Structure 1
Amino acid sequence: MSSKLLRLRTARQRHFLPPPLLQLVPVLLLLPPSRPASAAAATAVTHLPGFDGPLPFNLETGYVGVEEETGAELFYYFVESERSPGTDPLLLWLTGGPRCSIIMGLAFEIGPLKFVLAPYSGGLPELVYNPYSWTKMANILLLDSPVGSGFSFARDPKGYYVGDYSSSSQVQTFLNKWFTDHPQYLSNPFYIGGDSYAGKVIPLIAQGISEGIDMRQQPVINLKTYGYYLAYFWMNNNMTRKALGIKEGTTSEWIQCNIGLPYTYETPSSIPYHLNLTMKGYRALVYSGDHDLEAPFLGTQAWIRSLNFSIVADWRAWHLSGQAAGFTIEYTNNMTFATVKGAGHTAPEYRPKECFAMAQRWLDNEPL
């Protein structure tokens, strides 16, 4: 799948805005945070069912209210960077569907956990540490969005009637409240990224943050750029829910992708958002697995070309351990496109080592 990284800075630094993502293109954005009402109490998680011993990283989970009228609350996982949490980037990660659970990011793609796929003989699935976790270079905030995804819920059924615009607005509300409760991360470079359909919503979120920066709204976000059955058994286990701090009576059954709830598709194309954001100078990394059949990389190339940006560095292979890991091309307005050799729709799931190296180089402002 194609993915995008966008970057913004906090109010204390230059104000950058992330470019929007096109359909089915994940994006990373760096934003400066603001200061509204606080979030709900968080849970510090030191042990998880199925993981041997204490967690070798700092994990926090919690709920944040995003709509008083319907009692809508979004559930999140926050994993602190294992390198330098005080200065490393903060990455907000969303997933597709819409309404697929963010556990896919936590335990199948970029997070510090992964399920032991075989052998499995029933019972509680086993978890181990992911050596290619992006938490080795960044703080990661994984969010169940929109309402109805994973453990996010609404007390009034009307709260499940959301679309591209309302869900992106709720994410902005979430960020404002979360940063209010975590002010120590306000100066960290902030990025927004995600998988699949998240690529449609991320540009809307980035646009909203950018407009907030321009209007000097508070808090100011430092925006810089823009085996599944095992998960089912693990997430529906009572011990798991207790460890994660899941509110009783809010989610009867965890479902990987809750597609049965209503959702309004309001963004036929995110190209105008991408154009607006990149023209403002935000860095963007768009990447695609070259074996992605859901959102083929040729389609990603086509929409990038439609921006009519000049080529700065033409196609070349990028390498890892002496082997070609994909191809990359650089454009004006800080936009980079890369393919990941042998990767499918969710590239980090298929090629974790390669995607880790690619993201680390880009986040550290190094050539791919």
Structure 2
Amino acid sequence: MDKEYVKLLLLLLVLLHHVDSASIIRSLPGFEGPLPFELETGYIGVGEAEEVQLFYYFIKSERNPEEDPLLLWLSGGPGCSSLSGLLYENGPVTIKMDGYSGGIPSLVSTTYSWTKIANMIYLDQPVGSGFSYSKTPLLDDIPSDTGEAKRVHEFLQKWLDKHPDFVSNPFYVAGNSYSGKVVPAIVQEISKGNYICCKPQVNLQGYVLGDPVTAIDIDDNYQIPFAHGMALISDELYEVRNISMLFFLSFFLAINRNEVANKQKKQKKHLKNVSIFVQSLKRRCRRNYINVDPRNAECLKLIKDFKKLTSGINVLHILLPRCEESSPNCYRYKYTLSSYWANDVSVRDTLQVEKGSKIKWVRCNRNIRYRKDIISSVPYHKNNSVNGYSSLIFSGDHDMVIPFFGTEAWIRSLNYSIIDDWRPWMINNQVAGYTRTYANKMTFATIKGGGHTLDPKQMESFIMFQRWISGQRM
């Protein structure tokens, strides 16, 4: 057989393989009737031998897919499936909670999907998340923050190569929680690629982050001030009140000066005891509540008291109860139902999941091997600002995992001037949150009553995103 013919045949087989790796989905198990939006699922291989197969869900904009922005959505973890974002935060369908009695859970349409105004790629990354898998054991090439920035960039290049109609669309990287470490690095990687090496060029415009992990010494350090501001811990535990001044005033008002002198002597020892009792977290820990010097016994004791006081709080949303995800009465029961749905054989067949690639789908895979090698994402934010990329950073104001106090702090550290100062943003003449815009094209917003993820506040998050992405004043 002619060698050129063999090469051509092999090339044709490769091309056919790539075409077959993506499937248009017209209907989904559990959803009545045909889908009212265009869904594609598939794998993109990354790495030298494409041993890592990253699974994605692509949903075209329901408005004008040819011109609307293209967003790549990453869920946190690391190890959480992007299906969680699709079903519970900003996608066009969700799991129906009411009336479940077994079998495949029902899916229903949502009202405030970001796909109303944007094309969305929901990506399962790193490998091991959702339906993404590796053809070979990853012995040395363990996923990491910086490694994922490169892999996601490679994914995007290959995805756009297969979807050339979207190359010119304004492109944004988006995500929440732990993706706050990775998304700014991905933006930097894409930006560098546009200048140095890579085709097709990505029409990169900016990024969106919700309740983003940034750095432990920022995020975790602001949990205690947040707890104090939310009345979860007392004033006395958080900061010293000037009790000795109160005693002085009481003595001063005494009628008999001798009585005052006697009281002062009697209270001298008592005042020492009081001062020990009211030693505060802020003073004894010097506002550093992590990596505490083991010799600082007073600080460690106070942190222990803090943890005891807040042990009954749902840190993901302090207004919602702590409950077991497997309980039908728990607001998190929907996550259990999504596991039932994604592990159903008919669902996997419909989504064209590679047979044998995953024994069990889990919403968040906590067992993946992963290196957290970005200590702080602040330098990436600075670099992205210098390069002119816009950003929307938002926080649910009842999230204690990544308190908005800390997010505000690292944004302030960028030292950009304020061009639109702190103010409420409104929906139907009601306060939906507060916002501020900086000269580096960064907008910070809170969602009033929101938690660590968008699921309780889909309407507010949609309107916030719609205004920002269209350049309106929020």
Shorter-chain TM-score category?
Answer: 0.7 to 0.9
SS at match of 1:263: coil
Give 1:178 deviation, angstroms: 0.3
Correspondence 1:304-323 to 2 at 5 A: 304-323=411-430
1:350 aligns with one of 435, 456, 463: 456
**Residue of structure 2 in register with 1:162 after alignment:** 143
CA distance in 2, matches of 1:218, 1:244: 29
Q: Is the 8 A contact 1:310 1:331 kept in 2?
A: yes
Q: CA deviation at 1:285?
A: 0.9
Post-superposition shift, 1:161? Answer: 2.2
After superposition, the CA RMSD in angstroms is 1.4
Aligned structure 1 segments of 4 or more residues deviating by more than 3 angstroms: 37-40
Instruction: Give a deviation string over 1:343-368, Cα, whole Å, max 9, x none.
Output: 0001x211000100000000110010
Letter in 2 for 1:60: E
- What's the TM-score once normalised by structure 2's chain length? 0.68
Structure 1: segments with no counterpart, 5+ residues: 1-36
Does 2:76 correspond to 1:96? yes
Q: Secondary structure at the match of 2:112?
A: coil
2 CA distance for matches of 1:103 and 1:237? 15
Partners in 2 of 1:243 and 1:41 — Cα distance?
13
Query: How far apart in 2 are the matches of 1:196 and 1:57?
Result: 27
Following superposition, the deviation at residue 322 of structure 1 comes to 1.2
Residues 206 and 90 of structure 1: is their aligned pair in 2 closer, same or farther, counting only changes over 3 Å? same
Match of 2:337 in 1: 230
In 2: Cα distance, 1:311 partner to 1:68 partner = 45
After superposition, give the CA deviation of every residue in 1:310-351 in whole Å (9 maximum; x if it has no partner).
1111110000011100000111111110000000001x2110
Structure holding more helix per residue: 2
Aligned-pair distance for 1:144? Answer: 0.1
Secondary structure class of the residue paired with 2:134: coil
The match for 2:346 among 234, 239, 243 is: 239
Letter in structure 2 aligned against 1:195: N
Match of 1:280 in 2: 387
Cα separation, partners in 2 of 1:303 and 1:75, compared to 1, 3 Å: same
- TM-score in terms of structure 1 length: 0.88
- Relative distance call for 1:209 and 1:70 in structure 2 (3 A) is closer
AA partner of residue 154 (structure 1) = S
Indicate which of 303, 311, 325 corresponds to 2:410: 303
CA offsets 1:155-206 (integer angstroms, 9 cap, x no match): 1121672111212211111101000000000110001000100110011111
**For 2:397 and 2:18, how far apart are their aligned partners in 1?**
42
Aligned to 1:12: none
1:110 corresponds to which letter in structure 2?
Answer: N
For the pair shown, which has the larger CA radius of gyration, 1 or 2? 2
3-state SS, counterpart of residue 65 of structure 1: strand
Q: 1:190 to 1:39 in 2, by over 3 A?
A: farther
8 Å contact 1:309–1:332 — kept in the other structure? Answer: yes
How many residue pairs were aligned? 331
2:85 to 95, 99, 105: 105
Per-residue displacement from partner, 1:45-95 (whole Å, max 9, x unpaired)? Answer: 001000000000000000000024471100000000000000000000000
Higher relative contact order (CA 8 A, sep 6+): 1
- Matched to 2:192, the amino acid is E
